[in-house]
Structure 1
Amino acid sequence: MNEDGYKNTANIKVYLTTIRPNLIPTLLEACASQKVKTLFLYMAEKAGHSRYRALKLDNINLGTSRFMITPTGKYINKYNMTISKELAEYE
């Protein structure tokens, strides 16, 4: 994922409002990309979105691999990933 790709994940606030709430868990459980699921959950939680709070995270397999979206930045322990400082500080 390049720099533009992960910066665009910040649009989660907009995307979450257009997805039917009952479809989100199904999509996350079926998604094969751990990186996509991890970024989605991180950004949804960061946005304080009500649809994140309604998810049963035990049903979503994030695996055990550590992701480095950027080689340097901020490590997010809960999601076992390193993201850019800009993304971590994005409101």
Structure 2
Amino acid sequence: MENILFKISYPAEFHAQTAVEAAVILHPETKDKGFDNIEKIVITTHESAIRIISKEGNLNNPADRDHCIQYMTAIGLLKGNLVAEDYEDDVASDPLIDL
């Protein structure tokens, strides 16, 4: 087998793994300083990720959220992890998640 890409650390679409990982790593810094001090988050990625999982507008259900790189990154930053339950409505209603 050649050119196998397989690293799934989080319950997230493949193209979001590194963005979520970066957010989880940054979580300790941001939680101590407060999320109010964050003006903007820029996610730079490749064309496939943008086409497949960059979403704008309302995320009405878990299926929308688990294919939104912005949502997955926000959860990693806010909670320091991403688990399957984070796609549910009660987590998505957190006012700190502003898409």
Shared topology, TM-score over 0.5? Answer: no
More contact order relative to length (CA 8 Å, sep ≥ 6): 2
- Superposition TM-score, scaled by structure 2 size: 0.25
- Superposition TM-score, scaled by structure 1 size: 0.26
* Structure with the larger strand share: 1
The structure that has the greater radius of gyration is 2
